[in-house]
Amino acid sequence: ISPMSVSILVGQQVTFTSTTSGGYPPYTYQWFLNGNPVLGAASNTWTFTPTTSGIYYVCLKVTDAKGNTAQSDTARIVVSTVPVGGYSIPIQQSTSAKPLTLHIALLTILTALFITIKQKTRRKNRQ
């Protein structure tokens, strides 16, 4: 069967396939998950969608028309949980508004000074 080893996340799918040769067709198939037969998994392909994290083992038993059986090697599936977030924002105390107040006060003084100089310059130019 393939794949023989795979790592996926909870909710993702993995499809196993098998190619059968020899023996006496037609063949019957039975997939096993952790040693237990999977209901309805009776073809040469099977798709597994895990709902919980863990390590799972999959194998396939094939029976031919004369009752001869063969079993695949066991495939290993490692299922991890879906990562959530992973980001954090530290909460800090608010900073003081004093530097901003100082800048606004300086800007106001400079603006008033500029207007005063501009007005005096206009008066000199008129004379």
**pTM surpassing 0.85?**
no
**DSSP class of 15:** E
* pLDDT band, residue 90 (cuts 50/70/90): low
Q: What's the burial of 65, exposed, middle or buried (CB within 10 Å: 0-12/13-18/19+)?
A: exposed
Please name every residue paired with 6 in a beta bridge, in sequence order, or none if there are none: 77
Output the average pLDDT for the chain: 87
Q: How far apart are CA 110 and CA 60, in angstroms?
A: 85
CA distances from 75 to 19, 22, 30, 42, 67 (A): 15, 22, 14, 17, 24
Mean pLDDT of 41-46: 97
CA count, 13 A, side-chain hemisphere, 23: 16
Q: Report the top-level CATH class of 5-80.
A: mainly beta
The per-residue pLDDT for 125 is 76
Greater model confidence, 126 or 38 = 38
Q: How far apart are CA 73 and CA 36, in angstroms?
A: 15
Find where tokens 């066991």 sit: 74
Percent of the chain at pLDDT above 90? Answer: 63
